Chain A
Amino acid sequence: MNISLDPWIWISALLTVSIFSFLYRDNPFYRFAEHIFVGVANGWAVTFYWHNILVPSLFDPLFRRGQLLLIIPFIIGILYLTRFIPRVSWLVRIPIGITMGYYVGASIPADVQAYIIKQTQGTILTSQNFQAWNAGNMGVVWSIILFVGVICTLSYFYFSKEHKGVLGITSRIGIIFVMIGFGAAFGYTVMARISLLIGRLQFLLGDWLGVIH
């Protein structure tokens, strides 16, 4: 056993243990750690954004180097603050609209290609797709399962008709696929959470207490 003498490791370890204490029940140590977390996160974010965005990307070029065009984004950004002045608070919609417009414009063609067209291509039953699984003859089986799963799941999320008759059958098969998917996701999450626990334990037992090397 080789306990660390580094004060930062101690602070980090004690905060970790405080957060873990929530597993027992809510308590002052947890709350203390929670408030420190929120406070430090906000304080750090404000200073980071000031030094890494506002100063180098806006204030310096605009006020020191005279890049006057930057006055436009500066004004648009400032409009976010109009929310605090009730009479002109409606102006906040301008920067929100611009931000949303930019993201929607950039994402629609990209999303259609990446998430719809390419995925449709990968689902169609062709010999090329059968081989893409690298699973020999089983490629056909996997492709058919994928194909049925996609069609039936799509039918579950069809909202324009009651789920009766053929649509009722396909949507019920669809929800089975959905639930199997959730089961897989759940299993993976167990692995993720255990991994996080291991990560912290490696820190507590290794870096802090020196029990493991």
Chain B
Amino acid sequence: MKIIDILAKIDRRIIYLILLVVVILPLIFPSAQSVRVMPPVEKFFNAVDNIPEEKALIIDFDYTPQDMPELEPMAIALLRHAFKKRIKVLALSLYVQPLGLAQRALTQVTEEFNSTAETSADSIIYGRDYVFLGWQVGPILAMLSMGESITNFYNIDYYGNRTDTLLLMKHIKNYNNVGIVAALSPSDIPRYWVAYAQNRFGVAVGAGVTSVSASEFYPYLQTGQFSGLMIGMKGAAEYEEMVEKELSVAGRRKASESLPSITYAHLLIIAFIIIGNIGHFVKRRQK
């Protein structure tokens, strides 16, 4: 019974320390972990892959530094997919904070492609292959207004260009010219896309969400309101896997690199939960 008493009194800081060690070690000594792609991510990949030539992919970057580890790898993987398949990309943020991170992801993937491009046709060119619409007031207002005209609502892009002068925007008027909206968000925003953009204008919506809110979003996948769903780092790693395997796009896979740490941390926490519960029931019996 003494062990139970010691375990019950264990300082939470020791638990933090053990967890830290378990997470750090696989990062310092990396090992490959196979990634099994689940249907929600496969559906997402296929929905993006099947965007017709004349339509665009909207990527809504709504993550902030605190959600970046889970959602940025999704954005990178989506951009690699779109640029490889020459799918037109409209990037935007419904809040101001994510703007810098959106630009960071766009710059990174553009440079990845342009560093190996040999001709203008191979390159990813701003205004032709993608446009960064930036931010405008009010998420709901943005979603509703884009149903009428994207260039009227976002009349200037993130860099101050008039959007109606950009080559890509000549053929993209509203949601009729959009294949799918990929909402990468830690909040309720993917549901708002369904409620305001999909219900009213019929556009398809896919969501990349943090694991915290995963259970909230599953019902929308089951009803078909989401055309695909990526959940947390695992979801991001699955999309990275598909992009690399199906499209042969190489590049750093931050989410996949993290999977061993996640696995060991999960095992540790499961052990903590079991020990904690045993301790709880033993103590109750003693009383």
Residues of A within 8 A of B (CB): 23-24, 45, 48-49, 52-53, 57, 103, 106-107, 110-111, 113-115, 118-119, 121-122, 132-134, 146, 181, 184-185, 188-192, 194-202, 205, 211-212
Contacts and interface: CB of A to CB of B under 8 A. Distances in A.
A213 to B, nearest CB: 9
A115 B195 contact: yes
Interface of B: 13, 16, 19-20, 23-24, 27-28, 30, 39, 66-70, 96, 135, 137, 140, 144, 191, 194-196, 198-200, 210-212, 214-216, 219, 222-225, 231-234, 254, 257-258, 261-262, 265-266, 269
Given A23-B16, A134-B39, A196-B70, A190 B266 contact: yes
Contacts of B210: 192, 195
B215 A191 contact: no
User: Which among B24, B69, B219, B265 has the greatest number of chain A C-beta atoms within 10 A?
Assistant: B69
A188 B195 CA distance: 25
Nearest to A189: B212
Contact of B258 (A103, A133, A181, A202): A202
B223 A24 contact: no
A134 to B, nearest CB: 7
29 contacts: A23-B16, A45-B96, A48-B96, A49-B96, A103-B140, A107-B140, A114-B198, A115-B191, A122-B219, A184-B215, A185-B212, A185-B215, A188-B211, A188-B231, A188-B232, A190-B269, A192-B212, A192-B232, A195-B69, A195-B70, A195-B258, A196-B66, A197-B19, A198-B23, A198-B27, A199-B69, A202-B258, A205-B27, A212-B30
Contacts of B13: 23-24
Contact of A188 (B16, B68, B214, B265): B214
Given A52-B135, A198-B258, A191 B96 contact: no
- Report the 3 A-B pairs with minimum CB-CB distance, sorted nearest first: A199-B69, A122-B223, A110-B195
A110 B265 CA distance: 40
Contacts of A122: 219, 222-224
Nearest to A117: B199
Contacts of B39: 134
Contacts of B216: 185
B211 A191 contact: yes
